[in-house]
Amino acid sequence: MFVRAPSKTLVDAMEKRLPVFQVLTGPRQVGKTTIAEQVMEELPFPSVYATADSPLPPGPEWIETNWRLAQVEFDKHRKPVILVLDEIQKVRGWSETLKYHWDLRRRSNYDIRLLVLGSSALLLQEGLTESLSGRFFLNRCMHWTFKECKEAFGWDLRQWLYFGGYPGAAVFAADEQQWKRYVLDSLIETVLARDVLQMSRITKPALMRHLFALAATFPAQIFSYNKMLGQLQDAGNTTTLAHYLKLLESAFLVSGVEAYSKGQMRKRGSSPKLVLWNNALINAISSQTFHNTVANAVWWGRLVENAAGAHLFNGLSGTEYSITYWREGDREVDFVVTRGSETWAIEIKSGRAGKLSGVEHFRRKYPEAKILIVGTGGIPLEQFFLSDSHVWFENRSG
């Protein structure tokens, strides 16, 4: 069984009795539950596992029941107990209930070591910051990288750029129709129906699905909200679309990348660049086969650029980095990464014709910016995708 980095991190953390509990967040179907199972198997402690992933969200009594089960295990073995609560964001009033029991645990003799899993960044963030400040340590388990898929499945770069990073779908890669059906039914539909539509009150669920399909049809392309309104039926207004894009982002599906503006984290109201966090989400919807996709230089260029953006989002998640794009007239910089006062302009070169690079224009306007060329004439694509994203933004000059 493939062991991802968060598994080792969590084993080290939960060997000790710490004043904080562990949170593991990330997309569906990337192995969070498998990591929890590996942690429970690796540590010599009894464990209790429960998931709230059901059509009818449970109430706070679900947490109370499983907490009591953990206490019973502790009384039986007189050893630390691992308690894993999966899809915690589905539980009504979960953060207040968890706070109550965690604070009691800190004042008691019960050594319950808590691991919380969740696949909604938005709902987890709200609950953690509102009630549980200072009580948790956040771990991220993101979409599988090229390096992981190469080691686990023996894929080359072209296979990863097409099939993306969902490990459960990898077994279907030999039969593309089965693979597409699996990704559509078991991944996309499940996330939209059981995660996104349960996050908050969605007045137009059909619009949410159409917005996702639009992003998958035009990956790595800049789309004004007015243009989206023209493409989508019953689209409402731009505020609704911007809100729905944020919900899709919090489920690790699609980001509407904003335009870069110096002195601001994001330029509000700008036309977003649509980036999907996993290329499987694009190709499962596309009617193109693997061979046709590779042969289509323009479409392949879009996939490479989208994968580069997804690589940045998955690897630089958190508040330290900001990821935007820049465009002025017909000149464009694919991605702009900022950290504090540092700025990097990133140009993805995959051989796609008809694209005017804007890096020199950007450099003249922002002379302190650093330039990264990825692809032809720069960092080889394979090297870029095999490396952790942050290595390109550490201790670099010039």
316-352 per-position pLDDT tens digit? 977 789 999 999 988 999 999 999 999 999 999 986 5
Task: Mark 300-332 as b/e (b = at least 16 C-beta within 10 Å).
Answer: bbbbbbbbbbbbbbbbbbeeebbbbbbbeeeeb
Q: How confident is the model at residue 263 (pLDDT cuts 50, 70, 90)?
A: low
Q: How many residues does the chain have?
A: 398
Cα separation of 398 and 393, whole Å?
A: 12
User: CA-CA distance, 246 to 251, in Å (whole number)?
Assistant: 9
Give yes or no for a contact between 133 and 140, defined as CB atoms under 8 angstroms apart.
no
Asked if residue 173 lies in contact with residue 287, where contact means CB atoms within 8 angstroms, the answer is no
| Lowest mean pLDDT, pick from 119-128, 172-181, 333-342 | 119-128
Average pLDDT over residues 291-320: 93
Per-residue pLDDT for 398 more than 50?
no
pLDDT score at 291: 97
CA–CA distance from 207 to each of 142, 188, 213 (Å)? 26, 15, 10
Confidence at 120, pLDDT banded by 50, 70, 90: confident
Per the prediction, the chain carries an average pLDDT of 91
Of 216, 161, 168, 172, residue with least CA distance to 386: 161
Mean pLDDT, rounded, for 362-389: 94
Distance CA(2)–CA(5), nearest Å, equals 10
Which pLDDT value is given to residue 170? 95
Q: Whose CA is closest to 26, among 138, 132, 131?
A: 138
Question: Do residues 293 and 360 lie in contact, with contact meaning Cβ atoms separated by under 8 Å?
Answer: no
Q: Per the confidence metrics, is the pTM higher than 0.85?
A: yes
| Backbone region of residue 213 per phi and psi (left: phi > 0; alpha: psi in -120 to 50; beta: other values) | alpha
Phi, psi (deg, nearest 5) at residue 82: -90, 120
Q: How far is CA 123 from the centre of its chain?
A: 14
How confident is the model at residue 314, as a pLDDT? 95
Of 163-177, 191-205, 226-240, 291-305, minimum mean pLDDT range? 191-205
What is the percent of the chain where pLDDT is above 70?
A: 94
pLDDT at 389 over 90: yes
Domains of the chain and CATH, by start: 5-140 (3.40.50.300), 146-393 (no CATH)
